[in-house]
Every structure is written in C-alpha cells, then in structure tokens.
Structure 1
C-alpha cells in the first residue's frame, strides 16, 4: 500500500461509512422514540400517504360516532315529548268515555270539558319541546309535503270484495261473506268531526239506501268504495294502496290540509227494537287513517351525518303534533266539544285517531333511535378495523427496531474506531521524514 499524505483515502472511506451509520442509527433512534416506522414521507412515501388517508378516515369515523350519539340524544328528547302526549291522550280517552255516559249531567260534562281544554293546551306545550334551540314536534321539521297538502283518508278493509258503490246497506257483508245484519227498518247514526264541529246525520229507516248515499249531502266528506287498491295520494303525490291489497271503503276529506281534516268518524246501527247492532258496528267502525292530513311544507327534515363522505346521512321528519294537527282543536282555538252525549260519543274516535298519529310518530322516532344505535356500533367497528390497518402500515415493531438500533450503534462505534485507525496510519509517514 502506497504511503501518501495528500489524500487519506482510508480515512475518507471510513468517514463516509461513519456518516451512513450515523444516519441509520438516527433513523432507528427516531423509530424507537416515536414508536412508528414511518415518521415522514421520506421514510416510505406511498405508505405515508396511505396511512395519512386512514388517519383522516379514523378521525371522521370518530366524529360520526359523536354525531350518532348527539342524534340519539335529540331523539330521546322528542320521544319524551311524544310519550307525554300519548299519556295525555290516554287520559283524554277516559274523560270522553266518561262524558259519553249518561249518568253525567250537563254540568258534569262542562267540568269534564274544562279538564279536556287544559289537557289539549298541554299537548301544544309538548309539541314545542326543543333540543339545542330546535323545536321538534311543531311541524317545523316535517318532511316535504307538496301543495296543496294531503287529505285525510280513513279506510275500512273489512268488507266483502263483491261490495261496491251500488250495494244497499241491507246487503253489506264482511270480508268472510257474512251479512252485517242491517235490516230495512234499522236506523243508522253517522257522526264525524271536522273543522271543530261535530256533524251527526241519521238514516231512519235504512230501507233501500245504498252505501254511498249515506254521506252524499255532507259538505266536508267524500265517501267512496275503491275500484282498485289505490285510495289516495301521499305527501309527495305517490299512490297509497290498501294494506291488504284489496278494495276498501274509504272516507276522504274534500279539502286538503289540517283545517279540512276528518278528525273522527263513528257509525251506530240501531235495530228496530232500539238495541245496538254490535256486529255491524264493529265492522263499520273499523277505520284506520291511511293518509294523514298535512299542510304544504318544504323539506325541513333533520339530517344526521353518519358517514365520512358527503350525503352519507339519515333523515327524519317530525310531523306536527300540536292539538290542531291532531284534530283536537281548530285554528281559531275551539277545542273538542264533549258537552253533550252525542258529541262526547263522537269525540271518542277523535281521540283514537289523535293517539294513532302520536304513536305513529313515536314509532318513527323509535325506529330511528334503533338505527342510530346500529350505525354507531358499525362505525365503531369500522374505526377499529381502520386503526388496525393503519397500525400495520405505520407502527414500529419495537423489538425489531431496538435490535436494528443496537446493530447500527455498534457499527457506528466500529466506524469511529476505524476512522481513528485510518488517521493513525497516515501519521506513519512522519517516520520517513525524520
């Protein structure tokens, strides 16, 4: 080996290797100190990019879980208001049944009316329940309802399928083909409530009266027998079908919106001897509200963001739960009247329909709460799995990295020794110059 002094190549090479060893040891030290094998894009550009996207995903999923929890809290507040309204309506049912009993005097019914008025006012209070400044049950957060609004449709699907608009009352049959037992000398009382007024009409005797002639003189109600399974239009203009897929007798309000709704409908078939025809009444009074009357409304339904991408959300609309919308009060403040036996009797079906509206909304809220619980569970699982994937890419294997650090540390120390040795070798030239 040549002995030179201008360029110490051995020291140069040792220094270069020492620099490499220092950098390797610094990287190992950083991984051990941070617990991550990827600390910057320089460590692994593609892995860094993928793991950063996963971190964004994880943070979004954590916020989604928070959203579902706050959404559930809001729905619990709404459910509380609905439950209170349902409890009030259960009490009102007792009161109107009591008022329909002729053991009460007119003075007694006036007293019951006062109780009724106060309870109806409380329904409006319940509808104004709010969460974070948002009033939920007053109709301000309803789904879209196209103009001019929807009409009340009360449907009865318990009649034989050969019954039609020309069928006489005495020929009416139930769905199993049995006669309702209405005779020509029977009497039928029909009462319904709309626009705050109780209307009562009497057909006496029934004679040859046809089914659709019963309400032909009513200015507010349209009675018809569905020619097919369609009985009306919903809030967005889609056809509404009968529940059992067969024809049905239905009553429809002539005017759309809450002010024109049919709040209650009652039939009473009375035999010639004055007794009540319970068989006919049980069939004729089995109406359900197939379409609810609602005023036109924009789409103000509440949106719960439960995904990490745009429009990954669930919506829930709250129908109007105020007394007017439930048919218990008119827009001018007149409440349901129970001051006479006939009016109290008609009020029973009004309360039943109001309770049905509240329970339907309560079912909607409950099903959304259940969905949010499943959503939160799914989001939590997704977050855990994404975290696990991100950990595989980015987290350091501490045993491996510590081993690597120890190795680099030893090699660095060795390079330092060799650098010193290389420098010492160059100094041997001085011996030749003595």
Structure 2
C-alpha cells in the first residue's frame, strides 16, 4: 500500500458520501416539515406538472360549486316571486268565475270585481318589475327571450332558450295552410214547417250535450238563437248560425284539428245526414307554414319551431287571416254575405288565398337574452335559462276569444261573456306561470343541485389524486430520514478517520 500526503482520496470519498447523506437528510427534513413530497420542479417535473394541473382543476371546481350555489339562490328568488303571481292568478280566477254567474250579479258587483281585477293585474306587474337578485331584474323579460311580430293577424307568442336571435329585419313568416275550425252545415234548410213540427236539435261537445226542441211560435232566426242559447247554457264551446239558404251552420269556437263536436236532428239533412243520429263535424285544421324557411308544427292558430331547427327551435307564433277575424266578429245569426242583426246589409268578405309557394304574412323579430350559468370548471360547461316576462301584457297572448282580449292585461269581468273569456286567459296565464316555475324547479334540482353533488365528488377524487402525487408518506419518509441520518453520522465519523491517515507518514519520517 502506498502512502501519500498531497492527495487524501479516502478523505475525499468520505466527504462526498457525507455531502450526499447530508443532502438526503435535508430533503427528508423538507418533505417531513412541509408534508409534501413534491416541493419544487426538481423533485419531479412530470409529477409537478400533473399535480399543478390537478390543483388548478380543484380550484376551478370550488368556484363552479360556488357558482351553482349562487345560481340556486337566484332561482329560488325568482320561483318565490312566481309563487305569489300564481296565488294572485288563482284569486283572479275566483273573481272571474263569480262574475260569470250572471244570475246573481248586478252591475255594482261586477264593477267592484273589475276594480279588484285591475288591482291584481297591477300586483302582477309589480312582481315582474321589482323582483331582483342583487341589481339584476329577473322577471321583466330582460333575461329571457323577447319578440314582436310585424304583420296584420300575426302575433309573437313565445320562444325557448334554444331560439336564436333574429337579424334586425326579423324572420320571414310564410303560411302554407290557414287554421280552420271544426264545422257542420246542414244539407237541407230549416223551414217553418220543420220548426212547427217540433224539430229536436242536439249537439255534444267536450262531454257536454245541449238539446232544443223548436216551437210553433219560433221563427227560423228565433229557433237558431234558442238552439245557440241552449248550447251556451250547457257550456258548449260552439257557435251556431245559419247560411243564406237557412241551413244550420255549427262551428267550434276554437281552431285546430283536435277540436270537434257532433250534432243531430230529427229530420234528416237539417243537421245530420240521418235522422236522430249524431253526425261528427268536419275536422278543423292546424296552422301550417315556415319561419325563416324552417319547419314548424301547427296547433290551432299557432305554430312552433321543431326540435333541431337551426334558428327557430321553440319559437311560437300565431296567425289569423283577416277574413277569419271579420267572420268571427259577425253576429250569431249573420251569414257571410247576409245582413246583420239590425237588418243592415253586410259587405261581402274577401277570402284570402294562399299561392303555391306560401303566403308571406310578415316578420317576427326575436331577441335572445337568456341567462348563462357557468356551472363547470372548464369552458363550454355552461347552461342557458330564459326567464319569461310575467307582466300581465306578456301573459296569455294568442288566446282566441270573442271579447278581443290580447293579453292578461285586457281581462275584463264587467259582463258574463267577458268573464267567460277572461277565464280562458287567466287559465292560460296560470299554465304559463306554472310552466316557468316547473322549469326553474327542474333546473334547480336536475341541473344545479346535481351539478353541485357531482362537482363535490369530482373534487374529492381530484384532491385524492393530487395527494397521491404530491403528499409525503410520513411513515416511509421518516424511515428514510432515520437511515440517511445514520449514514450521515457514519460518514462524518469515517471522514474524521480518513483525515488521520496522512499522519501515519510522519511516523516513517521520525
């Protein structure tokens, strides 16, 4: 063995091992004191990248949960206000029903009921105007879909969250078939001889039946009026008149293919083809057409954009041609080209025709302002909800009635006839408000609440994944710390021994 004094390789080796052990002890101390195995990129670049991405995702999930919880609070605010509107509408319906009880009401009572109705409408408008979440108004239509129609007989009814905003000029509305009413016209005229014989006229509609037996004292007009009065008293939704040839004509008051009735007469041809046999009316038809060139599904006088339409999905419009409006305004016993009830000759009504390519009846403008809720941790994870305008002039639009009411704001109960029509509008408004409440409830429970629960589970799993990557296994790390600490102490002792080796050369020099 050679002995050297200029270079002590044993000392260098012991020193290197001591430094290595010291570095390992320091790293163990860092991990034990911080609780994290990855404290810097040097501890594992790939693991640091994965853990930092998970940390960002967890923070985003936390915010998504807060967003959903805040959204739930907003939805509850809107739904609570709508519940009050619902209660007000129920009270309005009671008043309208009372006003329809013509036999026990006088003008003073009807006027008092109308005053109450106006007050309730004002309350509905206040709820729509003043319901807020923070500074955001919820039920005034500013956070929903709004629209307007341009064209005689054309009306905007409703739109969905999926409906796209139109260009400033609006969507073209093209009608390919008008809505019609179920109808039945007798083949034979109602003559005075038939009336004097005691003709029994019967009609059934909506599960209700009305019957009138003519009297010798009846004129043709009186017989028609009495038959019509019997149908009205029984609650049938039909209109009875006569043609120029004195044939009985019966029409359903509502448009569409799902409205029907049947009628009979004791003389064949007066109403029914066979004596004493109920004959079904000719079915009505639904409105057909396109909006923005996209297909629509008709129901009565309305048509709605089908699912999958690029721009008009859920958009609903209504249309009644001018000739239908004029015919609806005629009296119960007036035919299309006959005289009115005062005996004045009525002008002939020009029937509007549809060309082969369809009839362009106007435009409908749509503005989409649906609320967007960011309920997920990433882009594209949002949902839209439209809050309908529940002001009185926005509810019950497009309801066919004989009083000329265009919306709930027009409701009037100063006569039994108007009260009956008001009931139809109030029922429509109740249905609309209930639908909005149901949609909000479904959104709260099926979207927001489920999203919160899902995000909480996702957060738990991601935190566990980050912990597996980044956190220190304290038991294993303590064992490593003890081992490296012992090695460091041993290395220090061996370094001291290695430093003593060169001194042995001095003994050779003595």
Q: Output the TM-score relative to the length of structure 1.
A: 0.73
Relative distance call for 1:15 and 1:361 in structure 2 (3 A) is same
CA distance in structure 1 between the aligned counterparts of 2:496 and 2:457, rounded to whole angstroms: 58
Aligned to 1:347: 422
SS in 2 for 1:239: strand
CA distance in structure 2 between the aligned counterparts of 1:189 and 1:253, rounded to whole angstroms: 31
CA distance in structure 2 between the aligned counterparts of 1:70 and 1:214, rounded to whole angstroms: 44
Q: Deviations over 1:154-177 (max 9, x none)?
A: xxxxxxxxxx867416798879xx
SS in 2 for 1:356: helix
SS in 1 for 2:389: coil
Deviation at 1:114, TM superposition (A): 1.4
CA distance in structure 1 between the aligned counterparts of 2:64 and 2:444, rounded to whole angstroms: 15
Answering whether residue 70 of structure 2 is matched by residue 70 of structure 1, we say yes
SS in 2 for 1:78: helix
Q: Contact 1:145–1:235 (CA<8 Å) still a contact in 2?
A: no
CA distance in structure 2 between the aligned counterparts of 1:127 and 1:379, rounded to whole angstroms: 33
Deviation at 1:146, TM superposition (A): 8.1
Aligned to 1:429: 505
Answering whether residue 434 of structure 2 is matched by residue 359 of structure 1, we say yes
* Structure 2 spans left out of the alignment, 5+ residues: 159-179, 187-201, 213-222, 256-282, 301-316, 333-362, 398-403
Q: Deviations over 1:123-163 (max 9, x none)?
A: 0111120102111111111137586585459xxxxxxxxxx
CA distance in structure 1 between the aligned counterparts of 2:319 and 2:86, rounded to whole angstroms: 25
Aligned to 1:377: 453
Superposed counterparts of 1:29-68, under 5 Å: 29-68=29-68
Relative distance call for 1:142 and 1:104 in structure 2 (3 A) is same
CA distance in structure 2 between the aligned counterparts of 1:182 and 1:235, rounded to whole angstroms: 48
Deviation at 1:210, TM superposition (A): 5.3
Q: Contact 2:3–2:502 (CA<8 Å) still a contact in 1?
A: yes
CA distance in structure 1 between the aligned counterparts of 2:241 and 2:183, rounded to whole angstroms: 18
Aligned to 2:124: 123
Q: Deviations over 1:191-215 (max 9, x none)?
A: 9xxxxxxxx9964469432538999
Q: Contact 2:155–2:318 (CA<8 Å) still a contact in 1?
A: no
More strand by share: 2
CA distance in structure 1 between the aligned counterparts of 2:181 and 2:125, rounded to whole angstroms: 40
Relative distance call for 1:169 and 1:426 in structure 2 (3 A) is farther
Deviation at 1:345, TM superposition (A): 2.3
CA distance in structure 2 between the aligned counterparts of 1:378 and 1:11, rounded to whole angstroms: 62
Aligned to 1:13: 13
SS in 2 for 1:225: coil
Q: Contact 2:148–2:156 (CA<8 Å) still a contact in 1?
A: no
- Count of paired positions: 362
CA distance in structure 2 between the aligned counterparts of 1:105 and 1:205, rounded to whole angstroms: 33
CA distance in structure 2 between the aligned counterparts of 1:91 and 1:305, rounded to whole angstroms: 38
Q: Contact 2:145–2:368 (CA<8 Å) still a contact in 1?
A: yes
Superposed counterparts of 1:90-239, under 5 Å: 90-102=90-102, 103-128=104-129, 129-143=131-145, 145=147, 151-152=156-157, 167-168=183-184, 185=224, 186-187=227-228, 203-204=240-241, 207-209=247-249, 211=251, 225-226=284-285, 238-239=295-296
Q: Deviations over 1:42-100 (max 9, x none)?
A: 11111111111111111111111111100000000000111010000011111111122
Superposed counterparts of 1:400-415, under 5 Å: 400-415=476-491
CA distance in structure 1 between the aligned counterparts of 2:239 and 2:183, rounded to whole angstroms: 19
Relative distance call for 1:239 and 1:429 in structure 2 (3 A) is same
Answering whether residue 306 of structure 2 is matched by residue 240 of structure 1, we say no
Bigger Cα displacement from structure 2, 127-136 vs 294-303: 294-303
SS in 1 for 2:42: coil
CA distance in structure 2 between the aligned counterparts of 1:381 and 1:214, rounded to whole angstroms: 53
CA distance in structure 2 between the aligned counterparts of 1:105 and 1:61, rounded to whole angstroms: 64
Bigger Cα displacement from structure 2, 126-135 vs 181-190: 181-190
SS in 2 for 1:298: strand
Q: Contact 2:128–2:139 (CA<8 Å) still a contact in 1?
A: yes
Tell me how large the CA RMSD over aligned residues is: 3.9
Superposed counterparts of 1:212-291, under 5 Å: 225-226=284-285, 238-240=295-297, 252-254=318-320
Relative distance call for 1:131 and 1:330 in structure 2 (3 A) is farther
CA distance in structure 2 between the aligned counterparts of 1:414 and 1:105, rounded to whole angstroms: 112
Relative distance call for 1:297 and 1:107 in structure 2 (3 A) is same
SS in 1 for 2:418: helix
Deviation at 1:353, TM superposition (A): 1.0
CA distance in structure 1 between the aligned counterparts of 2:63 and 2:238, rounded to whole angstroms: 60
* Structure 1 spans left out of the alignment, 5+ residues: 154-163, 192-199, 216-223, 244-250, 256-261, 270-293
Aligned to 1:324: 393
